Amino acid sequence: MTLVFSHVWAIWWWRNTYVQAKADSLRSNECDLGIVPTSVEELEQARATEVRLEFISRNFPHNLPMELITNDPSQHARLAHIRIRCWNGFLPFGAICKAGQHRVSSPEFCFVQIASDIRRICQERLERWQYVVVLVELGCELCGTYSKRESSRGFVNRDVPLVGTWHMRSFASYVAYSRGSALAYEALRWVIDGLNSPMETVVYLMLCLPRTWGGMGLPKPRSNWSILVPDELQRKTPKQHVIPDLYWPEFGLAVEFFGEDFHLGREHEDSDRQEIEQDMGLKVVTFWKDDVLNLRRFNAKAASVAHYLGQQLPEASKEFEKLQSTLQGMLVRRQRWI
């Protein structure tokens, strides 16, 4: 019997078991969500317990219930370690991917399912914009080149993004009349491709989300965009390209984030890259981890970014300071909802 894993369980499957290629290589042409067993005996026959133990051994959170999805509303199971979801809406081809002998929801299908279940997942009563921010952060991970892990570093890098923003938006439009699709589509307005670490995502969101949400409201950048080094500067570096963390090509502005574990011992390399970017005529603003954790320092750096973008940040009101503090707390908190 084939089981189809849904949203949060599937997100952790993508994080832990598949970091070397895009989700496209695992997509199947199946649209049938299968039949989920409804009793303990049938679950044992389907070896669901063995499946759970197999995936938990791959760095899954031990307290994460196994979540299955079906399109049969009569299927149900009241078990502590298994949850069954029902999907009654339209399901396009490619929404289900292969996971060994079983199946798993695709990243974009997971995203819409999580949007439909976001209040239960967060386990906190939040305002609508806060739920959107949670989804935006997840979307940036799915469309970026990192996956969160329960480790000292907190994430690992993958070779390529699981999925692109264009595919995420396309899927959300296909299931436009399904629960959660409107919230998912709203969140996708702020998701960008190619972010390389959780803290790069935090810097981007604090700079570019609307001021009504606590962000600075600056234009969206390109992330990890490759820039060709001119021939006359290549004598200073063996690299033919530099890749800023965030880049606004219309303004020649690069933002670099230093301070993650993978930067330790590479300060000289980071400094050289920044020097080359400046020699190329780019304006460079550098953020460190302490700049993100201290709002006064962050606002000073953000004002420099805004200046180079030809904008002037309005004077911060007490209401904005409260919103910004709330947004910062959501993004840098150790406890993650998803």
Taking 70 as the threshold, does the pLDDT of residue 21 lie above it? no
Average pLDDT, the chain: 83
What mean pLDDT is predicted for residues 294-310? 96
Least confident piece of the model among 72-81, 116-125, 201-210, 286-295: 72-81
Least confident piece of the model among 14-28, 80-94, 255-269: 255-269
What mean pLDDT is predicted for residues 47-67? 70
Under the banding of pLDDT at 50, 70 and 90, the label for residue 264 is very low
Taking 60 as the threshold, does the pLDDT of residue 199 lie above it? yes
Q: What is the pTM of this model?
A: 0.89
pLDDT in tens, 74-89: 665 556 567 888 888 7
Domain ranges across the chain: 4-188, 198-332
pLDDT of residue 8: 87
pLDDT of residue 32: 66
Taking 70 as the threshold, does the pLDDT of residue 19 lie above it? no
What mean pLDDT is predicted for residues 130-156? 88
Most confident segment among 121-135, 157-171, 205-219: 205-219
Burial class (CB in 10 A: 0-12, 13-18, 19+), 114: buried
Percent of the chain with pLDDT strictly greater than 90 = 44
pLDDT of residue 262: 45
pLDDT in tens, 174-185: 998 888 999 999
pLDDT of residue 263: 45
pLDDT of residue 78: 56
Percent of the chain with pLDDT strictly greater than 70 = 80
pLDDT of residue 38: 58
Under the banding of pLDDT at 50, 70 and 90, the label for residue 338 is confident
Taking 60 as the threshold, does the pLDDT of residue 261 lie above it? no
Under the banding of pLDDT at 50, 70 and 90, the label for residue 208 is very high
